[in-house]
Structure 1
Amino acid sequence: MPSDDIPFPVTFTAGAIAGISEVLSLYPLDVVKTRMQLTVGKSEYNGTFDCLKKIVQREGASRLYRGILPPVMMEAPKRALKFASNDAYGKYWRNLFGKKESTPALSLLTGSCAGFTESFVVVPFELMKIRLQDVNNASKYNGTFDCLSKVIKHEGIFALYNGFEATMWRHVVWNAGYFGLIQKVRGSLQPATSKTGEMCNNLIAGTIGGIFGTFLSTPFDVVKSRVQTAPRIVGQVPKYNWAYPALFTIAKEEGFTALYKGFVPKVLRLGPGGGILLVVFNSVVGVYQKYIA
């Protein structure tokens, strides 16, 4: 990760560029992941590629990109905040504990704090994205801004933060796993002797970190998807509301494996996606160090 002499605006910009690059590359897998997570009981999809095929056959290829505007709008501040806050928290914790370099434990702590901070930006965009991806909502919303308008009008402005707690846990856990592991992985790899070698090391470390973070966070992602699509009826407590009770409800009613619905498309996106994030982020920082600093 960048050293302490990299200004906050640079890490913010690098994170924004990295995030947009990742979402444009792998968004269809996110649509598949959401569809699989929202299936209760026996799924109509026989795996990731069957889901992709059925969406294209029944709804058209463009459906794989429905709801992409919220994540594109979200990715710049989300990923920017992820990396910039991770860098800022890293400096804070290293200074507090008198460490010149981050340890795996400090990286885990730093990543958790960054994930918590990131959640405040993410939730409204995630809610709109999930609503647009859900096949049951296909006829309700005519795009992103129609969805935003109708959620505020019919459910109130605070409904944009439905699922905040589950989203927070998802990001805390994913960031802790991701940032906590990439330093250790890069330290175990053969030191790079060229720019290409350094890029390969970052791709490997980021991919492994992304896979690990995804494994840890998927149950909270399933809960988040359920919470954000659950109907809100005045005077009734939603079936899926708080993260941990919802985890137990899903596991009890559908079995433990239901907590990993959509894991394959999610890990296919966020594994390589984690690698793409790290490579692009460090490349942008490298341009700053070479030509501007």
Structure 2
Amino acid sequence: MSDQKPLPFIYQFASGAIAGVSEILVMYPLDVVKTRMQLQVKGTGEQYSSMVDCLQKIVRNEGFSRLYRGISAPILMEAPKRAVKFAANDEWGKFYRNAFGMPKMTQSLSILTGATAGATESFVVVPFELVKIRLQDKSSKYTGMADVVKTIVRQEGPLALYNGLEATLWRHITWNSGYFGVIFQVRQLLPKATDKRGQMINDLIAGSIGGTAGTVLNTPFDVVKSRIQNTTRVPGVVPKYNWTLPSVFTVFREEGFGALYKGFMPKVLRLGPGGGILLVVFTACMDFFRGIHDGKK
């Protein structure tokens, strides 16, 4: 994330965890709306015409608490997910800089580092994402997170908890490469901060723009990931949504290009400002831990 000497992994992990939980507590209802809009297929079930329409129908028909249904899985996921995101980005950045003999980060190195960190992060989040998607679906009959895991293992086998891994790799590689790559470029363009407040504003702007860019890149993969993970696997039956790129073409062919960006508005409203919140909280925590670490020397 910067040219400063990286802190030990434990500090990066803790900072990423705190940043992730802070972001999700503020932004989670938008994630529920995004998933509902991604799962709807034209001509079947209740249709949502917009983000506001979806919010209104969920609150009116199912109650306000439904906007937080399934939050236990992402809360448990957020600490390792965001911790791995930022820690992996710093560690891979250090690795690539040493491997290529580059004293400072560059634009291309930031993109490569972000993509590799996204791939690393994917292996952590898949089971949690699958549980979250199953709980957020309007037709969900699961009683909670444990019930989802138990039912999937019993009916589809333990490996089914990793359904959608390939789509998740596509989603996270594209988002992280866009997020960290754009953050690097925006930070170069912004006026240099002279105090903590200026640094926080710069991080909020850079993180928000980075989060928006990552969302534009990865939304089609997120749409098909949601559908792949919401499909119950039946032995001997090839599911309609199975592999990522064929699923992208299926959605495009049957529902049009716009369907690949279903849920884009709540997603970008979450991950744009959410990306800013992530970066601000992560940087603040790292500065705090850097003071503790340096004070011990």
Instruction: Provide TM-score, normalisation by structure 2.
Output: 0.96
Matched residue, 1:124:
127
One-letter amino acid matched to 1:51: C
Query: Are residues 1:62 and 2:51 paired?
Result: no
- Equivalent positions of 1:142-161 (< 5 A) are 142-161=143-162
Distance 1:79 1:280 in 2: 11
One-letter amino acid matched to 1:14: S
Distance 1:248 1:5 in 2: 42
Matched residue, 2:283:
282
CA contact (8 A) 1:55 1:64 kept: yes
Matched residue, 1:133:
136
Q: CA offset at residue 7 of structure 1?
A: 1.2
One-letter amino acid matched to 1:284: C
Judged with a 3 Å threshold, the aligned counterparts in structure 2 of structure 1 residues 230 and 286 are, in CA distance, closer, same or farther, namely same
One-letter amino acid matched to 1:286: D
Matched residue, 1:224:
225
One-letter amino acid matched to 1:257: G
CA contact (8 A) 1:123 1:163 kept: yes
CA contact (8 A) 1:4 1:91 kept: no
CA contact (8 A) 1:74 1:122 kept: yes
Distance 2:222 2:40 in 1: 14
Matched residue, 1:192:
193
Which string of whole-angstrom CA distances, capped at 9 and with x for unpartnered residues, describes residues 15-41 of structure 1? 011001011110000000000000101
Distance 1:201 1:67 in 2: 33
Gaps of 5+ in 2: none
- Equivalent positions of 1:12-23 (< 5 A) are 12-23=13-24
Moved more, 187-196 or 39-48: 39-48
- Equivalent positions of 1:62-211 (< 5 A) are 62-137=65-140, 139=141, 141-211=142-212
Q: CA offset at residue 231 of structure 1?
A: 2.8
Matched residue, 2:250:
249
CA RMSD, Structure 1 to Structure 2 (Å): 1.0
Q: CA offset at residue 290 of structure 1?
A: 2.2
Judged with a 3 Å threshold, the aligned counterparts in structure 2 of structure 1 residues 40 and 189 are, in CA distance, closer, same or farther, namely same
One-letter amino acid matched to 1:25: V
Matched residue, 1:271:
272
Moved more, 93-102 or 68-77: 93-102
Matched residue, 1:236:
237
CA contact (8 A) 2:156 2:234 kept: no
CA contact (8 A) 2:36 2:137 kept: yes
One-letter amino acid matched to 1:201: N
CA contact (8 A) 2:89 2:116 kept: yes
CA contact (8 A) 2:207 2:278 kept: yes
Please state whether the residue corresponding to 1:266 is helix, strand or coil. Answer: helix
One-letter amino acid matched to 2:275: G
CA contact (8 A) 1:111 1:180 kept: yes
One-letter amino acid matched to 1:34: T
Please state whether the residue corresponding to 1:292 is helix, strand or coil. Answer: helix
Instruction: Count residues with an aligned counterpart.
Output: 291
Query: Are residues 1:48 and 2:51 paired?
Result: yes
Q: CA offset at residue 291 of structure 1?
A: 3.4
Moved more, 162-171 or 34-43: 34-43
Matched residue, 1:292:
293
- Equivalent positions of 1:1-40 (< 5 A) are 1-2=1-2, 3-40=4-41
Q: CA offset at residue 49 of structure 1?
A: 1.2
Which string of whole-angstrom CA distances, capped at 9 and with x for unpartnered residues, describes residues 138-184 of structure 1? x2x11111111111111110110011100111000000000011011
CA contact (8 A) 1:232 1:238 kept: yes
Q: CA offset at residue 194 of structure 1?
A: 1.1
Q: CA offset at residue 259 of structure 1?
A: 0.3
Instruction: Provide TM-score, normalisation by structure 1.
Output: 0.98
Gaps of 5+ in 1: none
CA contact (8 A) 2:156 2:232 kept: no
